[in-house]
Each structure stands twice: as structure tokens, then as C-alpha cells.
Amino acid sequence: MKYVLVTGGVVSGLGKGVTASSIGLLLQACGLRVTSIKIDPYLNTDAGTMSPFEHGEVFVLDDGGEVDLDLGNYERFLDSTLTRDNNLTTGKIYQAVIDKERKGDYLGRTVQVVPHITDAIQEWIERVANVPVDGKEGPPDVCVIELGGTIGDIESMPFIEALGQFSYKVGPGNFCLVHVSLVPFFVFFFSSSFISFQSPPRRRFLLLCAVLTLRAPLAHSPIRRSPLVAPTETPASVGIDPDPLAAEISVSDQTRAMSKARVYTDVNVVRSKDYWDYESLNVQWGEQDEYEVVRKVGRGKYSEVFEGFNVNTKEKCIVKILKPVKKKKIRREIKILQNLCGGTNIVKLFDVVRDEHSKTPSLIFEYVNSTDFKLLYPTLTDYDIRYYIFELLKALDYCHSQGIMHRDVKPHNVMIDHELRKLRLIDWGLAEFYHPGKEYNVRVASRYFKGPELLVDLQDYDYSLDMWSLGCMFAGMIFRKEPFFYGHDNQDQLVKIAKVLGTDDLNAYLDKYQLELEPQLEALVGRHSRKPWSKFINADNQHLVSPEAIDFLDKLLRYDHQDRLTAKEAMAHAYFSQVRAAETSRMRSQ
């Protein structure tokens, strides 16, 4: 067993918990099994009765333990299940020692901080560190210990002494101390060769890890005072030396906050992990022999699609045979489709099967007798477009309300059975669960439907990406111009958008979110004034373009994702008044 101790200096709240969690995650990435212990030097036995204004909200563990929020970070970062024993407080230690004294376990000896309290601390750490928290058998490889408060606090001294002894007990090769401190500095002191940023600073603080040595023993080593640690109390001054230093450095007061969705922000925050944790999904495979393919109807980057039928019921179906992709991606698509089952205008997943020999997975969907959009769209009337866009908005609002972004809305993924006036949103292979503050891959969505956020590398995007893609679809339908933004590559796609929406709003968008274009892309984009939508109206499409259609489009195709209509807001737009009235009338007559 190896141990990593994380301490902090200067002030509390520097980010020891995130540092400890991040260290654990990095160790996990190296293939090690990791557990965590949080030490709180206060006399309370748990956090249940402590003021949330001072300590933050209480985190409740699966065993009912009411603990510090840092343990919530550990569980989320490390995908572990901790117990109340993973939160060690002075109160717990003193209670345990007093209970032993009352039972006579010390045989009449004088009970003191050293050795009895310090021994109890070491025994607690050693016992808890060997308990698996990842659902597997056997002890973990590494225990990350976070010592709350700051170095120099009198209440933490017994723990400092105990951990110093413990480092000698387990050996210097099995113990590492990381000290977190706040380091103010003037940016111009550092040359660009020392700190370089490809884009403007993305956060208020940058965590800088300066690895000094990984071999120095923790306690009773020669005292050396690091110039990076302030004020007077340092790990060295109390008898311990840090191996790495983690310095939290103030970079800029002008950096932006993470962008968050305007609606359905916390859907996946309040739901249990089982809802969105697709990596832990245990797929229940059906019988592949129950389905036969008839003909190929399509193909994509990650799959080939066939019309088929169920050999038992003779019911038509769609068989999507997946190409070799990461199992994680397959699980994600299956989990999302299962969560959206029964949702308005969401394609139904009937079954998941796998070839017995090749292990190639296939998804079995409901059959939709759709017409190729290239043939269908030119025949649609003004009301048809209003109706089908409204139906598509129902699907988007439903998936967004379930905390899911589609991330690939385009005509190819919107199946329309025009005879039955039925629409289904398909292909959820790029869909993802939305978590506020998370940075996502920008290599999603098809080029012609990519939102500006993807093209300028803004990673904390949200559901509004789907609304841009829908806006591109809508523009193509009413102007009879498919695709509406026709870029030859991703850079040219932004150029095509800028030539319509102008560069003034683009620059305002970049400034708002502290983004910069690469010099080459900036030169390609150039400067353009906004083009009025009326420029796209001609004799062939004028019957489809009404004032309310232009207003609706204008509120979708906006650079700033925060300014776009949400799906629910879009459904309430005046453009759909006829559709809503017809739907209300139909429901009353039923």
C-alpha cells in the first residue's frame, strides 16, 4: 500500500479536495486502484450538525454517513463508494481512545496525545486504507489522504505528528506529501517560453504542480523553507517536507465563468448516477437469430443500416449494425436510447443483439417508412414545414428535459413518414448527457450543421447546440437551399456563417466568452456586414417565407448559444400558432 498526503497552507478553501481527487484520478488512469480518506481536525464526530454556511452542504454517503463535501468529490472523480470511516475527525479519534480507556484497554496507563492519540490515528488510517471502495476484492493500491484546514493550525498538530510517524512506519518509498499553497505573482515576470497559452485563460485559477522531489522522507527531515509557501507556517516548519508542491496561482481577474444551459441545467445533477453512468452499463443482449435483414437502406461513419423484420412476429424493423468503435461509445448510445424510451417522436429501440462469433453489436429499431429528405423537402407546403419542425421540437424538448444533447441534428437523422405524418429523431450515436460545467468534445455534429461554439472551440456548450442545427435545417427548408451553410471544411464553415451573420456579432461573441481565433482562421473569416434574410428570398421560396418564419429563424441562428431559443420557447413562437391550434382542436375531438 502506498499513501499520498495532501495538505494546504495560507488559507482554507484553496482546492485541496479537488487536488486530492485529481491525483487519485491520475493514479487510476495509470491502472492503480485508489481509495481516499478525508481528515477534519474539528471535534465534531461528523458534519451532520455543522453550519452549511461555514462548511458547505453535508454530503450523505450510501451507509448514511454525513460527511464533508470533499468525499462527494472523491466519489465522483474516482467512481467509488466510500463509508463514514473514510471521514476521520478529531472527535472520532478522541471518542475511540476514551472508549478504550473506559474499558480498561490501556491497563491503567496515563492516556496522552503521544502515543495514544497518534497511534489511534495511524491505526484508523491503516485499517480504512485497506478496505476496497471500487466494488472489487482485495485492498487498493494507493490511499490519498487529505488533511483539512491549514498547516500550523493547533488542532491539526496531532495528525501532523501521527502522519510523520506513519511515513517512517511505511517507509519513504511508500509515502508522498503534496502541499497546496496560494502563490500571487505578476504575469509579466514570466516569459512566454515559461507559460504559454494557446487561447485566453479559461479559469479564475490555474493549478500549477511543481514537482520538487519524490524521494524525500515526510517527517524529521532537514527543515527547508520553500519560497513558494507562505506565510510563516509551512510543512517544513512543523517537521514535514513536501514532495510535490501544488500552487494555486491567480492568473487573471478577467477570465470568464463556465457557460451553463439556461434550461434543464441540473437534470443529471439531481438524478442518481445510475441514470447517466453509461460506462457501468451491463448490456443485456437479445437473440440475433430473431431478426433477418432484407436490404441496405443507409450507412454512416459508425454504422450500416438495413431494413429487416422479426422472424417471429414478421414485424418490420431497422437493423443498425455498428462498425468497430469503443465499447464506451456503444454503451452510451444504448443507455441514452433506453432512457429516452417512449419519449415524444424519439425512435424506439426494440432490442440490442450481438453476433455470437464476431461480437459485432446491432441495434434494432422501429421501422419508419420515410422518404429521402432530398425528394421530400421540395414538395413540402408552408404548413407542412411548420408541422414537422414543431414535431422535431417536441423530440428535442423531451431529450433536453431528460438531460441529453443529441449533437447531430440534421435532415439525415429526421425520419418522416409523410403519409402518416409521423416524424422520428434517430441516430443517437453522438448524443451525450449534459453536466453543467463539463467540457465536451467539439468534434461532433455534421459540418453543415455545426454550431459556432464547435467551430471556435468552446467546449462547455449545451442543449442550444441542437437548436443551431435545427435552425440550419429550417433555413434550408424555407429558402430551398440545402445545405444552407455550405462550407468545404470546418474553417470554411465558419467563414460561410460569418458572411451571413456578419463579423460584428462574431467578435462580440468571442469577446464575451474570452475566445480567440487562430490567426490563419481570423484572416480567412475577414470582415463582413450582416446580410438581411430577405436576400435569400426568391420566386421559388417566397411562399414559404413569412415574417414570423424570419423572426423564428433569426432567434435560432445566433452566434451566442445563450441567446438562442430553447426548444420549449421555440414551440411557443407565433410561427407555430396554426399548428398548436390544429393540435388543440384534434385533442378536443378525440
Answer yes or no: do 433 and 513 share one domain.
Answer: yes
In a domain, 138, yes or no: yes
pLDDT-wise least confident of 14-18, 97-101, 210-214, 387-391: 210-214
Q: Can you tell me which residue has the cell 484572416?
A: 523
Of the pLDDT bands very low, low, confident and very high (cuts 50, 70, 90), residue 225 is very low
Q: What is the mean pLDDT of residues 49-54?
A: 74
320 is in an annotated binding site: yes
Q: What's the whole-number average pLDDT of the chain?
A: 87
Q: What is the mean pLDDT of residues 91-112?
A: 90
In a domain, 267, yes or no: no
Of the pLDDT bands very low, low, confident and very high (cuts 50, 70, 90), residue 181 is confident
In a domain, 270, yes or no: no
Answer yes or no: do 211 and 296 share one domain.
Answer: no
Sign of the C-alpha dihedral computed for residues 87, 93, 94 and 96 taken in this order = positive
Of the pLDDT bands very low, low, confident and very high (cuts 50, 70, 90), residue 590 is confident
Domain that holds residue 321: 276-366
In a domain, 195, yes or no: yes
pLDDT at 395: 99
CB atoms within 10 A of CB 312: 9
Domain boundary among 335, 366, 397: 366
Of the pLDDT bands very low, low, confident and very high (cuts 50, 70, 90), residue 210 is very low
Answer yes or no: do 289 and 176 share one domain.
Answer: no
* Rounded-to-integer distance, Cα 206 and Cα 183, Å: 10
Answer yes or no: do 339 and 381 share one domain.
Answer: no
pLDDT at 240: 58
Answer yes or no: do 522 and 433 share one domain.
Answer: yes
* Rounded-to-integer distance, Cα 260 and Cα 39, Å: 33
Find out whether 503 and 441 touch, Cβ atoms under 8 Å. Answer: no
Answer yes or no: do 155 and 190 share one domain.
Answer: yes
574-583: pLDDT as tens digits: 999 999 999 9
Of the pLDDT bands very low, low, confident and very high (cuts 50, 70, 90), residue 183 is low
Highest average pLDDT, of 5-19, 171-185, 572-586, comes from 572-586
Answer yes or no: do 377 and 354 share one domain.
Answer: no
pLDDT-wise least confident of 7-11, 292-296, 428-432, 533-537: 7-11
Domain boundary among 220, 255, 290: 255
pLDDT at 257: 57
Answer yes or no: do 238 and 359 share one domain.
Answer: no
* Rounded-to-integer distance, Cα 349 and Cα 372, Å: 22
pLDDT-wise least confident of 12-26, 412-426, 441-455: 12-26
Q: What 8-state DSSP symbol labels residue 533? A: G
Reply yes or no on whether the pLDDT at 232 is more than 50.
no
360-370: pLDDT as tens digits: 999 999 999 99
In a domain, 582, yes or no: yes
Q: What is the mean pLDDT of residues 483-489?
A: 98
Tell which wins on pLDDT, 277 or 181.
277
* Rounded-to-integer distance, Cα 398 and Cα 346, Å: 9
pLDDT at 44: 87
Domain boundary among 302, 333, 366: 366
| CATH number, residue 213 | 3.40.50.300
pLDDT-wise least confident of 92-106, 366-380, 529-543: 92-106
pLDDT at 476: 98
For residue 294, what are the contacts with CB-CB under 8 A and spacing of at least 6?
306, 307, 308, 309
* Rounded-to-integer distance, Cα 207 and Cα 205, Å: 6
- Position 442, amino acid: V
| CATH number, residue 555 | 1.10.510.10
pLDDT at 243: 60
Beta bridge partners of 309: 292, 316
Q: Which residues are catalytic?
A: 408
Reply yes or no on whether the pLDDT at 244 is more than 70.
no
Reply yes or no on whether the pLDDT at 428 is more than 60.
yes
pLDDT at 228: 36
For residue 567, what are the contacts with CB-CB under 8 A and spacing of at least 6?
393, 396, 397, 400, 463, 466, 467
Number of domains within the chain: 3
Q: What is the mean pLDDT of residues 68-91?
A: 89
Of the pLDDT bands very low, low, confident and very high (cuts 50, 70, 90), residue 301 is confident
Of the pLDDT bands very low, low, confident and very high (cuts 50, 70, 90), residue 89 is very high
On the CB side of 436, CA atoms within 13 Å amount to 13
| CATH number, residue 281 | 3.30.200.20
pLDDT at 12: 67
Reply yes or no on whether the pLDDT at 202 is more than 60.
no
279-290: pLDDT as tens digits: 999 999 999 999
Q: What is the mean pLDDT of residues 490-500?
A: 98
Set of cell numbers at residue 546: 413569412
Answer yes or no: do 359 and 417 share one domain.
Answer: no
In a domain, 35, yes or no: yes
Highest average pLDDT, of 241-250, 296-305, 565-574, comes from 565-574
Find out whether 168 and 219 touch, Cβ atoms under 8 Å. Answer: yes
In a domain, 579, yes or no: yes
Answer yes or no: do 414 and 457 share one domain.
Answer: yes
549-567: pLDDT as tens digits: 999 999 999 999 999 999 9
Answer yes or no: do 83 and 225 share one domain.
Answer: yes
pLDDT-wise least confident of 105-119, 121-135, 169-183, 419-433: 169-183
Answer yes or no: do 362 and 379 share one domain.
Answer: no
In a domain, 268, yes or no: no
